[in-house]
Amino acid sequence: MKKLSIIFLVAAGVLSANARDVITLNNGDEISAKVTEITSSEIRYKQFDDRDSPTVVVAKQEVFAIDYENDTREIISAETATARTATNSSLGAPHEKDFYTGIYLNPLGVLQVGPIVGVEFTIKRRFIIDAHLRFPAAGLLTGYFSEGHWDVDNIKGISTGLAFKYFTGGPKGGFYAGPGFEYYQLEYHVDGGFWEGTGMLVAANFGYKFQYSSGFYMRAGAFLGASTEFTSYWRGSEWPKETDVFFMAEFSLGFAF
């Protein structure tokens, strides 16, 4: 009899330890609790592992179901959960995230002063930080903008850029604008001589961004600003530094994730 009593007490203790209610929220999170009251609009409960804790209140519309300690289940807001799931599935992910990353290519630069490859970080769906590389050697107009005529050849160099944009749109797209900066280093031959130098581009970047639920996006816009030379050498000797107007149309293709 003593052994049976001990077994009974242990079993009762185990059952008591596991006697808890489980609240399942619409987002899938589960809360171990002791439900104390259910009203027409809210559910009140205490923490399962601390029955002396303050009562916690959660709106009914946030709760999918409650699994009680007696192994019964009560569906609280199945319609709300279904509607929310359907809404979430129709949103333009990943453009609905508060933070997402995108990679992009501006192939239009081949016809201008060099294509651009970059990465973007979008914060709070509004603020975009853009880091990119531009390849002037692959731009058909690089020589024209650099020297004013077409007999420039053997162009070498690269530009590293950073831009900050404010995005006004939603999941399907919107306007963007902000400042951009590029540091460039160029070398090329012209008129039998050799020029090399470094400089900075400062430009406003603005346009419209089209976003799709797959993560794909397109941008159509422009860069408008000025370039100034930090160093300038012609045939190895210092050459007068110049400042020029800078313009570049943008048509970028990207993918966000």
Give 172-207 pLDDT, tens digit per residue. 899 999 999 999 999 988 877 888 999 999 999 999
In this structure, are 26 and 113 located in the same domain?
A: no
pLDDT tens-digit map of 205-247: 999 999 998 999 999 999 999 999 999 999 989 999 989 899 9
Structural domains of the chain, count = 2
Full domain range(s) for residue 36: 15-89
Q: Are 211 and 171 in contact (CB under 8 A)?
A: yes
Written in H, E and C, the secondary structure of 62-127 is HEEEEECCCCCEEECCHHHHHHHHHHHHHCCCCCCCCEEEEEEEEHHHHHCCCCEEEEEEEECCCE
Question: Is 249 a residue whose pLDDT tops 60?
Answer: yes
Final residue before a domain boundary, out of 25, 55, 89: 89
Edge-to-edge strands, sheet with 63-67: 56-59, 42-47, 30-38, 21-25, 63-67, 73-75
User: Taking residues 131-151, what's their average pLDDT?
Assistant: 79
In this structure, are 38 and 124 located in the same domain?
A: no
Q: Provide the mean pLDDT of the chain.
A: 85
- At 131 the pLDDT is 98
Residue 60 belongs to domain with CATH number = 2.30.30.100
In this structure, are 131 and 176 located in the same domain?
A: yes
Spatial neighbors of 191 by CB under 8 A, at least 6 apart, are 151
In this structure, are 196 and 235 located in the same domain?
A: yes
Final residue before a domain boundary, out of 64, 89, 114: 89
pLDDT tens-digit map of 45-98: 998 888 788 999 999 988 988 999 888 889 887 655 454 554 444 445 788 888
In this structure, are 104 and 85 located in the same domain?
A: no
pTM as predicted: 0.63
CA distances from 42 to 38, 55, 84, 121 (A): 6, 12, 18, 39
Spatial neighbors of 256 by CB under 8 A, at least 6 apart, are 94, 95, 100, 101, 102, 120, 122, 211, 215, 216, 217
In this structure, are 183 and 224 located in the same domain?
A: yes
- At 146 the pLDDT is 62
- At 91 the pLDDT is 46
Bridge partners (DSSP) of residue 201 are 182, 227
Residue 252 belongs to domain with CATH number = 2.40.160.20
Let me know if residue 5 belongs to a domain.
no
Final residue before a domain boundary, out of 37, 63, 89: 89
In this structure, are 104 and 170 located in the same domain?
A: yes
In this structure, are 63 and 179 located in the same domain?
A: no
In this structure, are 32 and 122 located in the same domain?
A: no
Give Cα 36 to chain centroid, integer Å.
42
Residue 126 backbone zone (phi > 0: left; psi -120 to 50: alpha; other: beta): alpha
b/e per residue 140-167 (b: at least 16 CB within 10 A)? ebbbebbeeeeebeebebebebebebeb
